[in-house]
Amino acid sequence: MINFEYSQPTNIIFGKGTHKQIGMKVAEYAKNILIVYGSERIKKDGLLGEIEQSLKDAGVEYTLLGGVKPNPRLSLVYKGIDICREKNIELVLAVGGGSPIDSAKAIAVGAKYSGDVWDLYLEKDSFEQALPVATILTIAAAGSEASTGSVITNDETGYKRAYNSECVIPVFSILNPELTCSVPKYQTVCGAADIMMHDIERYFTNVQDVDITDRLCEAVLLSVMENAPKAIEAPGDYELRANIMWAGTIAHNNLLSTGRIGDWSSHGMGHEIGAMFDVAHGATLSIMCPAWMKYVYKHDIARFKKFAVRVMGANEEGYTDEEIALQGIENLKKFFASLGLPVSLGEVGVGAESIEKMAEKCTLLGNIGNFVSLDKNDIEKIYNLAL
Amino acid sequence: MINFEYSQPTNIIFGKGTHKQIGMKVAEYAKNILIVYGSERIKKDGLLGEIEQSLKDAGVEYTLLGGVKPNPRLSLVYKGIDICREKNIELVLAVGGGSPIDSAKAIAVGAKYSGDVWDLYLEKDSFEQALPVATILTIAAAGSEASTGSVITNDETGYKRAYNSECVIPVFSILNPELTCSVPKYQTVCGAADIMMHDIERYFTNVQDVDITDRLCEAVLLSVMENAPKAIEAPGDYELRANIMWAGTIAHNNLLSTGRIGDWSSHGMGHEIGAMFDVAHGATLSIMCPAWMKYVYKHDIARFKKFAVRVMGANEEGYTDEEIALQGIENLKKFFASLGLPVSLGEVGVGAESIEKMAEKCTLLGNIGNFVSLDKNDIEKIYNLAL
C-alpha cells in the first residue's frame, strides 16, 4: 500500500425529498448563485420549480444557465464564467448528472482564473481557486458530486480533457434517488457502466498488498451488478435506485483509490469516442474496457483471476489461471451486453477509419494507463480489438 | 435505505514516516497545544521525541499529559480541561489508540463547556463546541481517529458512557502503520475484534434494502479476517498492519452506517465489563457478540444466514437456513478464539455474581439495542449465555 491522504469533505444529503432543503443549504454559503442544468426536462417535471421556490423562500437570488449537453462543451463554460463575473455570483449549483456538474466546476474555477480556463485542462497552467460548487444529482453515474474531477470537451478542437483539484469538490451534494426513477433505461445502464468503470479503473493496479481496497472495490461492483439489472425491470423502485446512486458516489469519491494507483486508460480511450461521436460516456466504457482487458490481462493474471472469481462468477474447477482470467473478461462483456449496452465500436457506428485519429488524440500528452503504459500503437490495437 | 447525511471531514494522512509531518500540520491550526498520551512507551521508543522535535521545528508550544489508561478515566479528563484553561490551549493532540483519543475529545469539549463535562456523557445537557482535536494513531482498533464518538469511564461511579458530536471529529489524523508493528499480540487481536465489531454492530440492522452497505461491511470484515491472523504470525509486516489500520478507520468513520441503523448492544454490554473489571475493550466484545447473536438470531434468520455465507464461510449444502445462521455464529466465535481472544466471561474472571449489577448499569438510561431492543432481563440472559 502506498502513502495517501484522504478526506471526503462534501456533505452528502441523501434520501427522499431532500432536494427541498436546497434553499436552506445554499443560504449557508451564498445569496446569489448560478444554476447550471442540462435538458429542459427539469422544468417540465417540476423539479426546477421546486428548487426555485426553495431558493426564493431562503432569500437566495439565482440566474439560470441551461442547455448543458452530454460530453459538456467549453463554449457553455465560457458563457457561465461571463455570467459569474457580470453578476458577482457566489456559488455555482449544478442540477443534473455529470455533465452539468463538470460544467459547474469548470465555471467555478474559470470565474476566479484570469486566463483561459481551457489552459488548466490542457495542463498549460495550474490554478486551484474556485467559487464553491454544490449539486443536486438527478442521475447515478459520474460520481462528480463528491469528486475532484471535471471533464470538458473543447467544441472547437474536439479534444476532451480533465481537470482535477480539491478546489472544485462540491461543498454539499443533494442525492435524492426519487429524482433518478424517471431516468430512461439506456441512460440508467450507461450510468451503471460508468459507476462500474470508476471502480474497475481503480481495481487494476500494480500496487501490491491492497487487500482492504480490493475488497471494497469488489463490494461496490457486486452491489451494482445486483441492483442495475433489477432497476431496468422496475425503474420506479426507490430502493434499487438508492443503492445504485450511493454506489455511484462511493465508486468515485476516492475512497477506492486510497493506497493504490488506478489505470484510467479505458476512460482515456472512451473520451476520444465521446469527443468525436457523441456516444454516451458509459457506452464508450462498456465498449473499451473488455478490449483493454484482453490486451493487458497477461500483465497480471493473478489479479485478473481474483476479479473473475470474486466479482464475475468465474468457474474455477478444471481451468487454468489464464482461462479463469479470460472467463472474467468474457463475463463482464456479457454483463454489459445483457444490460443493452454496446460492447463493440461497430454497434455505435464507429469504423476502423477513425481509429488512427482517436489514438493520436488519446496520446496527445503522452502514454496513457498506469497498470500498463500504452502508446499510440497499443491504443490502435485496443481500438481494433473493440471493432 | 433511510435518509442520511454523510461526510468524512478528517484529513487522513496515511503511510510510512507520516508522523514526522506533525509540526507542519499542527501549525496550520494552533501554536499552543496539549499532547494527550497513554503509556510511557512512546518516550522510550523515541516516538514522543520525534513528535516534540517536529513541533519545535514548526514553532508550536506544547504541554504533555500522559498516563491515559485503557477504559479512559474522567479524572484525567478533568486534569486536561484545567490545563487547557490555564494555558490557553488551542488544539488537543492525542498520541496513541482509542483511549488517548477519546480522552482528548472529552478534554476538547470540556475546555469550552462551562459546566461539568460528565453531564454531556450522561445526556443531562447538550453542547457541541470543542477545541480542534488531532491524532497520531499508534494502534489499529477504535476508529476514534475519524469518528464523532468518545467513550469515558467515571472512575468514581464506575459508569462508562459515550458522547457523540461532529464537534469532536479530528481535524486531521496521522496513521503510520509502522507505529503499530510493535503492538503486542494481545492488543493486536483485541484491536482486530474491535474493528470487526464496529462493522458487525452496523451490519445487523432492521433497515431493508441496504445492499451497498451490506457489501461494504462484508468487505471490511473479510479483509480483517484475512490479515489479522497473518499479522500475529508476522507482527512486523508493514503491509498487513497497513491493511488492518485502514480497515479500522473505515469500519468506524460512519460510511458503513449510511442509510441504516446499527445495533450497538454488544458494545453496551461490553462497556460494563470494561468499567467494572478493566478487561480490554476488544476482549469484552469477543465475549459478548457471539452470546448476543445466539440470543437474537431468530429475529432475522435471513440476515444471519447472509452473514454466515458471505463472511463466515458457512456450508450451505444440506442445511436449513437456521442451521446455516448458527454455523455463522459458531464460526465467528471460533475465529475470535483462534486469535487468542476470550469468548466467555469465565476466561476473564467474571462470574455469575456480577451479572445483575452489570445488567442494571447497562440499562441505566433504558433499553439498549436497535436490531432487537433489550431490557435488563434480556441483558442478564445474554450475560448468562456468555458465562
Q: Quick one: pLDDT band at residue A41, thresholds 50, 70, 90?
A: confident
Separation between Cα atoms, residue A212 and residue A1, nearest integer Å: 10
Kindly report the pTM of this predicted structure. 0.96
Q: Chain B contacts of A209, Cβ < 8 Å?
A: 239-240, 242-243
Question: What is the structure's pLDDT at A42?
Answer: 92
Select the residue from A2, A6, A221 to test the B interface by mutation, using most B Cβ atoms within 10 A: A6
How many Cα atoms within 13 Å fall on the side-chain side of residue A47?
22
A166 and A238, same domain (yes or no): no
| Facing A212 at nearest CB: one of B17, B213, B243 | B243
- Using CA atoms, how far residue B302 sits from A259, B204, B256, B371, in Å, is 35, 11, 20, 14
Residue B349: strand, helix, or coil: coil
User: Radius of gyration over alpha carbons of chain B, in Å?
Assistant: 20
Check whether B71 has a pLDDT greater than 90.
no
Separation between Cα atoms, residue A275 and residue B190, nearest integer Å: 54
Select the residue from A2, A7, A203, A252 to test the B interface by mutation, using most B Cβ atoms within 10 A: A7
CATH number at residue B350: 1.20.1090.10
Cell of A124: 498549460
Q: Which of B158, B179, B200 represents a domain boundary (last residue)?
A: B179
B368 in the Ramachandran plot: left (φ > 0), alpha (ψ -120 to 50) or beta?
beta
Question: What is the structure's pLDDT at B176?
Answer: 98
- B positions 239-268 inside 8 Å of A (CB): 239-240, 242-243, 246-247, 250, 255, 258-259
- Of all residues in chain A, the percent with pLDDT exceeding 70 is 100
How many Cα atoms within 13 Å fall on the side-chain side of residue B295?
23
Domain membership of residue A4 (yes or no) is no
CB burial of A212-241 (b: ≥16 within 10 Å; e: otherwise) equals bbbbbbbbbbbbbbbbbeebbeebebbbbb
Location of C-alpha cell 513541533? B55
Q: Quick one: pLDDT band at residue B158, thresholds 50, 70, 90?
A: confident
pLDDT digits (tens, 9 = 90+) for A69-128: 988 999 999 999 999 999 999 999 999 999 999 999 999 999 999 999 999 999 999 999
Mark yes or no for CB contact B242/A4 under 8 Å.
Answer: no
Q: Which long-range contacts (CB under 8 A, 24 or more apart) does B49-52 make?
A: B50/B19, B50/B20, B51/B19, B51/B22, B51/B95, B51/B136
Mark yes or no for CB contact B211/A227 under 8 Å.
Answer: yes
CB atoms within 10 A of CB B381: 15
B291 and B351, same domain (yes or no): yes
Distance from CA of A53 to the nearest CA of B (A): 22
Separation between Cα atoms, residue A141 and residue B329, nearest integer Å: 37
CB atoms within 10 A of CB B318: 6
A132 and A197, same domain (yes or no): no
Average pLDDT for A269-290: 94
Mark yes or no for CB contact B243/A210 under 8 Å.
Answer: yes
Domain membership of residue B98 (yes or no) is yes
Number of domains in chain A: 2
Q: How many residues does chain B have?
A: 387
Check whether B179 has a pLDDT greater than 90.
yes
Separation between Cα atoms, residue B328 and residue B384, nearest integer Å: 21
**Across the A/B interface, how many CB contacts are shorter than 8 Å?**
131
Question: What is the structure's pLDDT at B143?
Answer: 94
B164 and B186, same domain (yes or no): no
B99 and B210, same domain (yes or no): no
- Of all residues in chain B, the percent with pLDDT exceeding 70 is 100
| Facing A13 at nearest CB: one of B5, B9, B13 | B5
Domain membership of residue B93 (yes or no) is yes
pLDDT digits (tens, 9 = 90+) for B96-144: 999 999 999 999 999 999 999 999 999 999 999 999 999 999 999 989 9
CA dihedral A268, A272, A275, A278 (to 10 degrees): -100
Q: Which of B179, B200, B224 represents a domain boundary (last residue)?
A: B179
Domain membership of residue B165 (yes or no) is yes
Question: What is the structure's pLDDT at B218?
Answer: 98
Sign of CA dihedral A68, A71, A76, A78: positive
**CB neighbour list of residue B106: distance below 8 Å, 6 or more residues apart:** B72, B74, B77, B80, B117, B121, B150, B152, B163
For B226, phi then psi, to 5°, come to -80, -45
Please provide the average confidence, as pLDDT, over all residues in chain A. 97
ipTM of the complex: 0.96
Separation between Cα atoms, residue A108 and residue A257, nearest integer Å: 25
Q: Chain B contacts of A226, Cβ < 8 Å?
A: 211
A49 and A95, same domain (yes or no): yes
B82 and B229, same domain (yes or no): no
Check whether B275 has a pLDDT greater than 90.
no
Among the listed residues A200, A301, A294, A195, the one whose alpha carbon sits nearest the alpha carbon of residue A248:
A195
A15 and A149, same domain (yes or no): yes
A174 and A188, same domain (yes or no): no
B231 in the Ramachandran plot: left (φ > 0), alpha (ψ -120 to 50) or beta?
alpha
Domain membership of residue A6 (yes or no) is no
B175 and B189, same domain (yes or no): no
- A positions 14-43 inside 8 Å of B (CB): 14-18
A45 and A136, same domain (yes or no): yes
- CA B354 to chain centroid, in Å, comes to 24
Q: Quick one: pLDDT band at residue B384, thresholds 50, 70, 90?
A: very high
Average pLDDT for A36-61: 95
Check whether A159 has a pLDDT greater than 90.
no
Check whether A172 has a pLDDT greater than 90.
yes
Among the listed residues A96, A94, A89, the one whose alpha carbon sits nearest the alpha carbon of residue A104:
A94
Select the residue from A1, A260, A261 to test the B interface by mutation, using most B Cβ atoms within 10 A: A1
pLDDT digits (tens, 9 = 90+) for A2-36: 999 999 999 999 999 999 999 999 999 999 999 99
Residue A234 near chain B (CB below 8 Å): no
Cell of B357: 449489577
Q: Quick one: pLDDT band at residue B380, thresholds 50, 70, 90?
A: very high
CATH number at residue A57: 3.40.50.1970
Domain membership of residue B260 (yes or no) is yes
Q: Which of A157, A179, A201 represents a domain boundary (last residue)?
A: A179
pLDDT digits (tens, 9 = 90+) for A204-234: 999 999 999 999 999 999 999 999 999 999 9
Residue A42: strand, helix, or coil: helix
- Domain span at residue A151 reads 11-179
Domain membership of residue B1 (yes or no) is no
A64 and A174, same domain (yes or no): yes
Domain membership of residue A116 (yes or no) is yes
Separation between Cα atoms, residue A258 and residue A14, nearest integer Å: 24
